[in-house]
Each structure stands twice: as C-alpha cells, then as structure tokens.
Amino acid sequence: MLSKSIEAALNKQIRIEAESSQAYLAMAIWAEVKGLEGISNFMYSQSDEEREHMLKLVKFINERGGHAHVSALKAPSVTFSSYKAMFEKLLEHEIFVSESINELVHISLQEKDYATHNFLQWYVSEQIEEEAMARTILDKVKMIGDDKGGLYLFDRDIQQLTVSS
Ligand code: OFO
C-alpha cells in the first residue's frame, strides 16, 4: 500500500511525464512545419515514449492501492528560434526530469518504501540514457553549425537514434 505522500509524489511525476510528452509533441510539430522530417519523426517518438513513462507510473500507483491522477498540464513552448535552441531546451528539460526522479528516490528511501524505490530504478537508468542522448545530439548540432549539407545528413540520420523505453 502506498503512503499518501508517496502517492502524491508519484502523481506529480505523472504530470511531469505528461508535460514531457506534450513538450516533445510541440517540438515534433515545429520541426515538421520547418521541413525537418527526420528531427520531427524523432521527436514524435520521444513524445510517445514519455507517454509510456507516464502510463508505467499510472499502473504502478493503481496496482499498489493508490489512485493515479490526470491533471492540468503546463502549456509547452511551441516555437523555437532554431533547431539548436530546440535541442538545448530538450537537454534542459531532461535535466529537470532527472532532478525530479532523484527527489522521488530520496522520498522513497526516507519513507522506507523499498518497492517504490525499486520501481524508480528504471527511471534512474532511463534518465541517464536520455540525458546522454540529448548531449550527443547537441554535440553534433554544434559541429554542424551553419552547414546546410550537415543539417541534411543529420536530419536523415537522427531517425536511427533511439532511446529504449
Ligand atoms: Fe520520461 O524520460 Fe526523460 O524525460
């Protein structure tokens, strides 16, 4: 059985994962409108993954006798000054999510809720992967600079980058 405070903290994380999904959907749409098809497809699948992360939390809360909540979401940014700015925002967001997961892990230990602690380890690993991926992408973007040919190849190749969900 989940304690009320753990249930509330997990529900907060549901909102954060849902907001991540919306933020990445907005990025996918922006990239699509700009004709960056590969980047757009990549962001659509990142958005889907964030929804999976949200659903995993929903199931966990309900299975442990809690009640998962769907709440109002903060509107994401829908335009970006450049695709580099968009990926900077992606890394910034992943760092924010990692901090939120770390805080959850901390609460679960404080309350000696080892089942929740164990469940959260999947999110800890996922965040390591996603932050690393966002950094790799940004390194490539910086290398490309204003080279149009480089952007063309990057847009084609980014579709091969995936993060396991
Ligand atoms: Fe939910 O995985 Fe990153 O944000």
How do the domains of the chain map onto residue ranges? Answer: 4-70+78-159
**Sign of the dihedral defined by the CA atoms of residues 143, 148, 149, 151, in that order:** positive
Quote the ligand 1 centre to 148 CA distance (angstroms): 30
Q: pTM for the whole thing?
A: 0.95
> What integer pLDDT is reported at residue 162 of this predicted model?
61
> What integer pLDDT is reported at residue 72 of this predicted model?
97
Mutate which of 13, 14, 17 for ligand 1 pocket (most atoms within 8 A of beta carbon): 17
Name residues whose C-beta falls within 8 Å of residue 152's C-beta, 6 or more positions apart in sequence: none
3-state secondary structure of 66: coil
Locus of tokens 């290398």: 143
> What integer pLDDT is reported at residue 159 of this predicted model?
82
> What integer pLDDT is reported at residue 164 of this predicted model?
47
Give the integer Cα–Cα distance in Å for 3 and 10.
11
SS3 of 107-159 = HHHHCCCHHHHHHHHHHHHHHHHHHHHHHHHHHHHHHHCCCHHHHHHHHHHHH
Residue 130 near ligand 1, beta carbon < 6 Å = yes
Residue 117 near ligand 1, beta carbon < 6 Å = no
> What integer pLDDT is reported at residue 160 of this predicted model?
81
> What integer pLDDT is reported at residue 130 of this predicted model?
97
ipTM of the complex: 0.95
**Regions of the chain short of the pLDDT cut 50:** 164-165
Fold of 4-70+78-159: Ferritin (1.20.1260)
| Binding residue ranges for Fe cation | 17, 50, 53, 94, 127
> What integer pLDDT is reported at residue 161 of this predicted model?
77
Quote the ligand 1 centre to 89 CA distance (angstroms): 13
Residue 13 near ligand 1, beta carbon < 6 Å = no
Quote the ligand 1 centre to 130 CA distance (angstroms): 7
Quote the ligand 1 centre to 94 CA distance (angstroms): 6
Longest distance between any two alpha carbons in the chain, whole Å: 56
